[in-house]
Structure 1
Amino acid sequence: MRISDLLRYSAHRAPDAEALWFNERTYTYRQLYDQVCRLANGLRERASPGDRVAILAENSPEYVLSYYGVPLAGMGLVFLNYRLSEREINDVLTDAEPTILITESAYLDTARAALVGVESVHTLVTIDAAAAGTTHFAELLREPPMKEPDTGDDELAWLIYTSGTTGRPKGAVLTHRNVTAAACNSAMSWEADPGGSPATLFPWPLCHIAGYGVLVAHLRLHRIVLLRRYDPATFLAEVPHHRITHTTVAPTMLALLLRHPDIDKHDLSSVVRIGYGSAPMPAQTLRDAMRRFPTAGFQTGFGMTELGGNVLYHTMADHVSAIEGRTELLTSVGKPMALAAVKVVDEQGNEVPRGVVGELVISGEQVAVRYWRRPDASAETFRDGWLHTGDLATQDENGYFYIVDRKKDMVLTGGENVYSREVEEILHQHPSVAAAAIVGQPDEVWGERVVAVVEGNPAGAVSETEIIEYCKQHLAGYKCPRTVIEVAELPRNTVGKILKRQVREQLTAE
């Protein structure tokens, strides 16, 4: 099954239902699929099956069309994070070797600078305005719709580069089979929609793997209200305007929303479901959100770029159980979805008993086939039919999984393992701390010492002594930070995930 088939089936089921809204532009399912087919045919006139087509832009309908249309043409869509520097974009373009680059006015200069030395690109396409030396996106839509696509299930569909939290970004090769399996896994595992007309507010950057949620929403015949970029004020205004019923957010997005001074001025009662993921959710933030959105059920998903989406999830009922007393569930990432196998293994690949910490490994059709042109990294990550995630996890007696830490983020001090997420959970409960990252720093006596790097809350100053003492009230002494460093802002990726590698590099540089 091809990615575009997900939209094609929905267009047959509900051709006149609204599929997408963006800045007063609307598309029915029939119109959206027609445009996707036209885009595929337009690309076939300018490039060949097997080519890559890169996109450097913020959210727009054209980006959604590219999600479906580029793979339908038999080409691979290369996602470029618009927050990257020109050098970083050049690195990705050099590695992926696309023949077409799609961009917009805001990033045209960046695109041109990043293309220096990239000989593979022969066509530069602009989304929003014509420019000298470029092809306007509308030109690609003038070809008649493709009637009989001949793209295979196992051909490259999406090429998404990892965020580089642990080193040089790698391109995850996702085929049509991988992406459709991920979308179908979520669509069948998520709980049934309540009655009425589901409307999903989508705030994620489409250059992130979370964009697969667009496919899931379309498969379930939702009306998607697409934001150009996440902004708490716009988010709050669009909920009552469109009577939003569903949304998904990153923990950082939710925290900013809860702190927005106008949150109580908007009617948010239409929201019945809030999904979250991409990074660990501080338990206190989740508790605050559940109180602020009493009409909403909460569910979480755990996934990664190499999975094309989520494989673990927490139901709304699980969150109710957590509030009613099973508080440990607030830190769990849930149970496996229907179409994935998940287990925890030791260094030799043997499954460990429940309650024992090991590496989380995953198997299923949504697992990426390899990394682009990285046989060494592919051999290390994709072994014996399992994706080795690099996440340290444990599973309890009831089958719930808990992410303890990234293997590279665990601090080994005095022979004891300190899992950064456990310490960060405590720090997030301190009123002076808005966000925190625990990292290890070399220590002549202990091997490594625990260092807390924190963003302070506007409400109060950060006191190193106070925070260390606070941690000692809740944690064993060896887990407590020996040093607390306050920064104006922690380094994050596009969706707010803290980049621990950059935190460590900054500390080393100092």
Structure 2
Amino acid sequence: MLLSDMIRLNGRKNPDKVAVVSDDVSVTFGELRDRMHQVANAMLQLADVGDRVAVLAENLPEYVEMYYGVPDAGMALTFLNYRLHPKEWAWIMSNAEARILVVQPKFLEHLEPFLESVPTLEHVVVIGDPTPDHQVTYADLVGSASSEQPDLVVDEDTTAWLLYTSGTTGFPKGAMLTHRNLVIAALNSVIEYEPQPDERALIAFPLCHVSGYSVPVTHFRGGRIVLTPMFEAELWMKLVDEHQITGTSMAPTMLNFILEHPKVNDYDLSSLRGIGYGAAAMPVEILRSAIKRFGPIVYSGFGMTELGGNVLTFPKSAHERAVNGEEHLLASCGTPMVMADVKVVDEEMNECPPGIVGEVVIRGEQVLAGYFGNEAGTAEAFRGGWFHTGDMARRDEEGFFYIVDRMKDMIITGGENVYSREVEEVLYTHPGVSEAAVIGIPDETWGEVVTAVLVLRAGAVVSEADIVQTARDNLAGYKKPRRVIFVDELPKTVSGKIIKRQLRDELTTGVPS
């Protein structure tokens, strides 16, 4: 089955049912099917089967059309994160050997000076009005193409999406996700997460992030998606109210912004029947607040770019158990989904017994085909026949997994291992702390010193001694921060994940990475 088959099937079964809503634009499944075919045929006029098409845009209906249309042409849609630097956009396109760029003018003006560094780029297609140097518009190109299904055979093992890792711990790599990977990832979630009658999903994450897989998950079930150009807390609340949204997903930082917003009770959010969270670790205190505010409708999963979606699920029922007395479950990220094989292993690939920390490794049909043009990186990631996530975790006797830290975020101080997430969870219990990142900074005496970088709540007055005392009251002495730094904001990826590598570089060298 191809990714685009989801739209063809719904276009045949529910042609008049709404599939996409964005501002005053409403697109049915029948219309989306036709536009998908037009996109595929338009791309085939400019490039060949197997080529890469880069897209640089906010959350727009055109982006959704390209989600399905570019892969339907046998090409790989290459996602460009709009929060990156233009040099990074150019680097990714060059690494991906992209032949086509589809871009909004607001981003093109910044990218223009760097386009010459992308030798494979042949066509620039503008979403919106043409620019003086680029006259080909998406509307004209796609609008004039045939709406019939392209006359070609696409193998389900062909790369459909090429997503570059966020680079929070190093240089980004291009994860090749095939049609099979994405269909299985979507099917895994369709099976595991309960369907919602008249499903209306608000897409809060940017479509350039792997979390956009929730779009085909929703469309697989015949539901509609509502787009917002980019996340903003009050706009999110307004759209939930206006469209009677039934479900959404977001990063912990996004959820925190909503919970702390002064107008959180001014909008009708009662239509929500599911709030998923992911993309980063959820601090337990934020999770408690979310359940208190919205009720037992919160659920989560664990996944990553290389998996095309989630492989662990922590459903509403487990959250209900947690709030009804089994509070240890609040720190869990769930149990393996039905179509994924997940385990915790030691350095010799032996499975760790319950309670012992090891690395999470995964095997299954949704695991990426490999990293584009990076055989060494692919071989390293798949050593022992399993995909290595780089996440440290333990599991309990019931099979619930608990992410402890990223391997590269583990701090070694005085010969002792300190898992940064454990310290962060304690710091979040301080009433004055809004956001926390704990990192290790090189030190001649200790090897590394535990360093807390904090954003305080508005109006809070907190001292370094207060923070250290909070840690001392809850943790072993060697785990308490030796340095506490207060900042106005933390650097984040487009999905809301804190970029600890940048913090480490700035505090170590004074130069942002």
> What letter is aligned with 1:318?
A
**How much has 1:462 moved relative to structure 2?**
2.9
For each residue in 1:165-185, what CA deviation from the matched residue of structure 2 results, as whole angstroms up to 9, or x when unmatched?
111111001111111111111
The DSSP-based 3-state class of the residue aligned with 2:4 is helix
1:59-458 paired onto structure 2 within 5 Å:
59-132=59-132, 133-138=134-139, 139-147=141-149, 148-193=151-196, 195=197, 197-294=198-295, 297-458=297-458
> What letter is aligned with 1:365?
E
> What letter is aligned with 1:472?
R
Partner residue in 2 for 1:476 = 476
Contact kept, 8 Å, 2:91 with 2:118, in 1: the verdict is no
> What letter is aligned with 2:230?
R
> What letter is aligned with 1:144?
S
Partner residue in 2 for 1:19 = 19
Contact kept, 8 Å, 1:183 with 1:215, in 2: the verdict is yes
> What letter is aligned with 2:267?
H
Q: In structure 2, how many angstroms separate the alpha carbons of the residues matched to 1:141 and 1:334?
A: 45
For each residue in 1:245-300, what CA deviation from the matched residue of structure 2 results, as whole angstroms up to 9, or x when unmatched?
11111101100011111111111111111011000111111111111113x51110
Q: In structure 1, how many angstroms separate the alpha carbons of the residues matched to 2:162 and 2:177?
A: 6
Contact kept, 8 Å, 2:52 with 2:77, in 1: the verdict is yes
Contact kept, 8 Å, 1:78 with 1:159, in 2: the verdict is yes
**How much has 1:149 moved relative to structure 2?**
4.2
Q: In structure 2, how many angstroms separate the alpha carbons of the residues matched to 1:256 and 1:114?
A: 35
**How much has 1:475 moved relative to structure 2?**
0.8
Q: In structure 2, how many angstroms separate the alpha carbons of the residues matched to 1:18 and 1:322?
A: 37
Contact kept, 8 Å, 1:40 with 1:146, in 2: the verdict is no
> What letter is aligned with 1:7?
I
Question: Aligned-residue CA RMSD in angstroms?
Answer: 1.1
Query: Which 4+ runs in 1 deviate beyond 3 A?
Result: none
Contact kept, 8 Å, 1:123 with 1:134, in 2: the verdict is no
Q: In structure 2, how many angstroms separate the alpha carbons of the residues matched to 1:429 and 1:125?
A: 49
> What letter is aligned with 1:158?
W
Q: In structure 1, how many angstroms separate the alpha carbons of the residues matched to 2:442 and 2:71?
A: 47
Partner residue in 1 for 2:499 = 499
**How much has 1:12 moved relative to structure 2?**
2.2
The DSSP-based 3-state class of the residue aligned with 1:491 is coil
1:22-33 paired onto structure 2 within 5 Å:
22-33=22-33
The alignment's TM-score, normalised by the length of structure 2, stands at: 0.97
Aligned residues: 507
1:43-58 paired onto structure 2 within 5 Å:
43-58=43-58
For each residue in 1:296-329, what CA deviation from the matched residue of structure 2 results, as whole angstroms up to 9, or x when unmatched?
5111011000001110011100000000011111
**How much has 1:198 moved relative to structure 2?**
1.4
Contact kept, 8 Å, 2:349 with 2:384, in 1: the verdict is no
**How much has 1:140 moved relative to structure 2?**
2.0
